[in-house]
């Protein structure tokens, strides 16, 4: 699968698994060492992404093609890539359970297998509910994300990152599942496993092969 095909697959998987929100939301990827990246165009749903609606942009947020339909929130991607040379994929979506959780909590409890992926690895952004549509907001979001895997944007959505498209996509799906499970238990007393147990499961979950295997599964499910 080519890089563009992976980006298209990611977008369709995200849409099919509850991350779609009309034409909102975007996913991008960057090849290691490059100072440009590819991103879904503005005005289409995640499930509509095709090779003709992938845009190339620079790390300052400007499109290589001045006529390209670039997202106003391009700065989410450009500023994270600028600050995180380890990152090869950035996803921003508005999954319902994550948005709901972001309204009432700044973190996830490690009460489920998906949640352990984000144990000590989830940030919280409270600067605005509005679009991250200028560079300074993008910088502040990237700073809040820091070295974390994902960030809850209060009353807004999520940003999830990964070294690969596979890692970021599967992580985004797991974050939404973890948020749903937490909301189902919200306000109730829950029993936490010991930290060592949580970290052992986290290490297993983070194996690159697991992200690839599950991305391939979701590709079979959603990409025709």
pLDDT digits (tens, 9 = 90+) for 105-154: 999 999 999 999 999 999 999 999 999 999 999 999 999 999 999 999 99
| DSSP track, 130-156 | S---SHHHHHHHHHHHTT-SEEEETTT
* Residue 129 three-state SS: coil
Domains of the chain with bracketed CATH: 3-222 (3.40.225.10)
pLDDT of the residue at 187: 82
Q: For residue 33, name the pLDDT band (cuts at 50, 70, 90).
A: confident
Contact 162, 149 (CB under 8 A): yes
Q: Is residue 201 scored above 90 in pLDDT?
A: yes
Strand order across the beta sheet in which 157-162 lies: 54-58, 36-40, 26-29, 89-93, 157-162, 150-153, 122-125
Across the chain, mean pLDDT equals: 96
pLDDT of the residue at 189: 86
Residue 35, both tokens: 């100072």
What's the pTM value of the predicted model, to 2 decimals? 0.96
Q: Is residue 213 scored above 90 in pLDDT?
A: yes
Q: Is residue 224 scored above 80 in pLDDT?
A: no
Q: Is residue 95 scored above 90 in pLDDT?
A: yes
Which of 111, 116, 130, 90 lies closest to 200, judged by CA?
116
Q: 38 pairs with which residues across the strands?
A: 29, 56
Which of 150, 207, 200, 197 lies closest to 174, judged by CA?
150
């Amino acid at each position: 699968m080519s890089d563009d095909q992976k980006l298209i697959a990611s977008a369709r998987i995200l849409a099919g698994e509850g991350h779609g929100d009309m034409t909102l939301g975007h996913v991008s990827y960057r090849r290691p060492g490059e100072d440009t990246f590819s991103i879904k165009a503005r005005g289409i749903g995640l499930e509509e992404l095709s090779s003709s609606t992938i845009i190339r942009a620079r790390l300052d947020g400007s499109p290589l093609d001045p006529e390209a339909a670039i997202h106003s929130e391009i700065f989410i991607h450009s500023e994270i890539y600028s600050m995180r040379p380890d990152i090869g994929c950035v996803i921003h979506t508005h999954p319902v359970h994550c948005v709901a959780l972001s309204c009432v909590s700044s973190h996830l409890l490690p009460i489920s297998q998906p949640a352990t992926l984000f144990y000590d690895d989830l940030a919280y952004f409270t600067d605005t509910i509005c679009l991250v549509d200028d560079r300074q907001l993008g910088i502040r979001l990237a700073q809040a994300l820091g070295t974390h895997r994902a960030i809850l944007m209060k009353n807004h959505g999520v940003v999830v990152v990964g070294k690969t498209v596979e890692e970021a996509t599967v992580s985004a799906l797991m974050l939404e599942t973890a948020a749903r499970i937490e909301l189902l238990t919200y306000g109730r007393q829950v029993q936490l496993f010991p930290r060592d147990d949580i970290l052992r499961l986290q290490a297993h979950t983070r194996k690159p092969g697991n992200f690839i295997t599950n991305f391939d599964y979701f590709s079979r499910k959603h990409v025709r």
